[in-house]
Structure 1
Amino acid sequence: MRVILRMSSRFGGDLRGNVAVIFALAIIPVMTMIGAAVDYTRANQLKSKLQSAADAASVGSIAKNSTAFVAAGSMTSDGTIAGGAVDATNIFNGNVQGLTGVTINSVTPTVTKTGSTLTSVVGYSADIPTSFMGVIGKTSLTVNGTSTSTANIPQYIDFYVLLDNSPSMGVGATPTDVATMVNNTSDKCAFACHDLNNSNNYYKLAKSLNVTTRIDVLRTATQNLMATAQSTQTYSTQFRMAIYDFGASSDTQGLRSLFSLSSSLSSAQTAAGNIDLMTVNGQNDNNDQDTGFSTIMPAIDKAITTPGNGTSGSPLKYLFFVSDGVADENNPSNCIKSTTSSGRCQSPIDPTLCANMKNRGVKIAVLYTTYLQLPTNSWYMTWINPFNAGPWGPSPNSQIAQNMQSCASPGFYFEVSPTQGISDAMNTLFAKAVMDARISR
């Protein structure tokens, strides 16, 4: 009896067989964990491919020239774009074609226009069968994802181009051109006035001397602007142009339409070729008062309709104003700096004339064609130089330049004097206008 008890005690205390039992019990969860890791890794790899397809769909559905992008350009209000959702679905499906080991449950694309922003959201859900997790009853893994892309919709803009063609724009475009005129005129005159009195027609003289005047540069620059606008626009009617000047002649001076507002930029470019200097009929025609800012600026303000939000039916409004910035008009009661005894006002532009347009939401881009000093011209030295004086040229503190800058909307002022500068500046102002419209609304 004692032997049996002793053997039973030894058997109960022997632990050597427990290792096998413990291993047998642990192998199942360990293998399950390893299998789950394999299944999750595969699921993540497939989800990455699905996410790439969703990214391609959200970007591609609102790309330039896409159905949604084109449709958004003609929409006058916010809303969804069904064609964009169709494109997104097709792009997604095209990118997952041939992808095995996954079942697509749903693709939910939405393309929406809100203001000037186009947004594409592509969501998806898919099941991925498991290889190892089935032992614990998990036969598939569900993966979900979303991709969001946005695009700025090009804004519709109406550009009103106001060009100073008064006699002072007959000055040489560069100091060399000025000197050529001075050296070839008996009265040392730098102005190539388009005087119809043939005995004093310095306009024709400038042509024969190959002198480039500011009006010549302005003509070319405006034509180049139309070409730039035509090559820049995304939609065929995105930009419309209108061209105005200060009048055909001194006797009829005032706001004149050279080209009515139109999206035909090629026609606008042709019309710009007709820009020319205002004619005068001899000295003292219209008392030589040919730059009537006090009447022209309110008139262009009236011509510019109410600015919109940049949609096709409600375009933004920009005024491109190009001038040397000096008024010459009968305005004795509201002359900034000087008035002759007859009431003739020769003075820097009054910047308050621009205020109403800016208050209405019209952006004003000002290109100031620097009034070069004309030391041999007594009229210039008496009436203009006091606003413009510097020891060797126009002063950095020129009242003319300051007032022109005050007329401009913030960031839309350029001052140029070299011949090649006007065209570059006009194109730069145009590019700034398009960029400003894109990011500020």
Structure 2
Amino acid sequence: MLNLSRFGTDRSGSVAVLFSVVLLPAVMLVGAATDYARVAASKVKLQATVDAAVLAAGLDISGASDAVLQTKAEAAVAAAFPAGSPVRVASVALQTVNNNIVVTVNAETTTNFGRIFGVTRVSTTTTAAVPKQTGRKMDVDFLLDASASMGLAATATGRDQLRAAVGCAFACHDPEGGQRISNLQVAQNLGILTRLDVLKNAVGTMIGRIAATQGPRDLYRVAIDTFDDTPQRAVPLTTDLASAQRFIQNYRLGGNTSFSGAMPVFNGDVGSQGDGFATPRKFAIIVTDGVQGRRDRVGGFHPFDDRLCDTLKGQGVTVMVLNTKYIPMPTEAAYQQTVAPIQNRLEPALMACATTGYYFAATDQAEIDLAFNRIFDAIQARLRLVR
């Protein structure tokens, strides 16, 4: 006969009984904690992915529709959570709301222990939004030296070839003394590379790079001013960058150099700095050898006056200067009398004209190409830094 009183006081097997009673809740707690950590980690990754997708969409300036941007967002999310991932993406939605890009992703994270109790997935909704970027507007205004000195040979070899052909390599750019053609034309006929040729190639290439990053919204404009004795707005601000390139290819030189006449006009043409959104960011690129001179006046040669750049910089414009440096010509009397006495003052003056960090110098084609590439890269960096 079962003795109930003895059963109630019997202590044997109590640990096993207690363990069996506690085991199931403990397993449930461990499993729940594991699944919770899994879901939390998935949600953090999902949020980071959605943030990246919405930033990419918000910064897109190609003019793409929301449908195209959504396809890109879907691809970004799918790449982060491929097939077999514990996270299954149920939907990706992208829309523009009050000029904000909003991306919402619904996803489910699989469970390990929860399925024992019939919970196989945990749903998560993640949303991120950024202001829609319409792109930064940019105006690039070139001021190109069109004086006769830009017709000098661009290399020491070319200088020597020109001297051998006509007996002169400096201050003989124009027809003189009964000559029927200028020495610039002689150089071109002989295939000698001149500073004009180098300038055309470099500026044309840079405008091409601007065009390549233009996109369909025509955010970038280019203008070209030239100067010799007088300034000229050769190409007004335009989004037709091909027309600017055509002008460069047909670019012709004039006579003397007058910075004092050119800079006040250029200041007005460029205008004041903008924010890049309502009004364009402004970049002024001055290409010159830095010598102001008149050959018909005694003592008519002197360095560029950097104070002429104060107005532009005061207007907030980023001023970039490319110094097309003179190749030394110690055997040329005219060079020794005009440029040589002031040559060591040219670079400091042009450097002072430029916004700090935006002075460049070059002599030959390779250096000038490199300088214009650096100028273009600096402009792009400046655009990204300014909001």
TM-score (norm: length of structure 1)? 0.71
Provide the residue aligned with 1:271 in structure 2: 247
* C-alpha distance in structure 1 between counterparts of 2:185 and 2:72, whole Å: 67
Following superposition, the deviation at residue 57 of structure 1 comes to 3.2
Q: Quick one: which amino acid aligns to residue 418 of structure 1?
A: D
* C-alpha distance in structure 2 between counterparts of 1:18 and 1:133, whole Å: 34
8 Å contact 1:170–1:191 — kept in the other structure?
no
Change (3 A) 1:29 1:263: farther
The reply to whether residue 170 of structure 1 matches residue 146 of structure 2 is no
Of the two, which has the highest radius of gyration? 1
Change (3 A) 1:151 1:346: farther
Change (3 A) 1:19 1:106: farther
Correspondence list, 1:72-111, <5 A = 83=66, 87=70, 91=74, 95=78
Provide the residue aligned with 1:215 in structure 2: 196
Provide the residue aligned with 2:13 in structure 1: 20
SS in 1 for 2:285: strand
SS in 1 for 2:283: strand
Correspondence list, 1:240-389, <5 A = 240-247=221-228, 253-278=229-254, 290-311=256-277, 313-328=278-293, 345-388=300-343
Name whichever of 377-386 and 90-99 sits farther off: 90-99
8 Å contact 2:62–2:217 — kept in the other structure?
no
8 Å contact 1:128–1:142 — kept in the other structure?
no
Change (3 A) 1:58 1:191: same
* C-alpha distance in structure 1 between counterparts of 2:108 and 2:359, whole Å: 56
Provide the residue aligned with 1:195 in structure 2: 175
* C-alpha distance in structure 2 between counterparts of 1:401 and 1:190, whole Å: 20
Following superposition, the deviation at residue 191 of structure 1 comes to 4.4
Following superposition, the deviation at residue 92 of structure 1 comes to 9.7
Following superposition, the deviation at residue 363 of structure 1 comes to 0.6
8 Å contact 1:47–1:143 — kept in the other structure?
no
Following superposition, the deviation at residue 412 of structure 1 comes to 1.1
Following superposition, the deviation at residue 145 of structure 1 comes to 6.2
8 Å contact 1:158–1:318 — kept in the other structure?
yes
Change (3 A) 1:345 1:89: closer
After superposition, the C-alpha distances for 1:300-357 in whole angstroms (9 at most, x for unaligned) are 001012221112x411000111100111159xxxxxxxxx9x6854111111111110
Correspondence list, 1:21-100, <5 A = 21-63=14-56, 66=57, 68-70=58-60, 83=66, 87=70, 91=74, 95=78
Change (3 A) 1:108 1:432: same
The reply to whether residue 404 of structure 1 matches residue 385 of structure 2 is no
Q: Which runs of 5+ in 2 are unaligned?
A: 1-5
Change (3 A) 1:374 1:98: closer
After superposition, the C-alpha distances for 1:20-69 in whole angstroms (9 at most, x for unaligned) are 33432343333212222223323443454454444433323343xx4x44
Change (3 A) 1:124 1:375: same
* C-alpha distance in structure 2 between counterparts of 1:140 and 1:211, whole Å: 76
* C-alpha distance in structure 2 between counterparts of 1:363 and 1:131, whole Å: 63
RMSD across aligned positions (CA): 4.4
* C-alpha distance in structure 2 between counterparts of 1:43 and 1:376, whole Å: 85
Following superposition, the deviation at residue 277 of structure 1 comes to 1.7
SS in 2 for 1:376: coil
SS in 1 for 2:250: coil
8 Å contact 1:172–1:191 — kept in the other structure?
no
SS in 2 for 1:240: strand
The reply to whether residue 437 of structure 1 matches residue 383 of structure 2 is yes
* C-alpha distance in structure 2 between counterparts of 1:292 and 1:93, whole Å: 56
* C-alpha distance in structure 2 between counterparts of 1:375 and 1:102, whole Å: 76
Correspondence list, 1:150-189, <5 A = 154-186=135-167, 188-189=168-169
SS in 2 for 1:244: strand
After superposition, the C-alpha distances for 1:259-280 in whole angstroms (9 at most, x for unaligned) are 12111112221121111221x5
Change (3 A) 1:102 1:267: closer
Provide the residue aligned with 1:418 in structure 2: 364
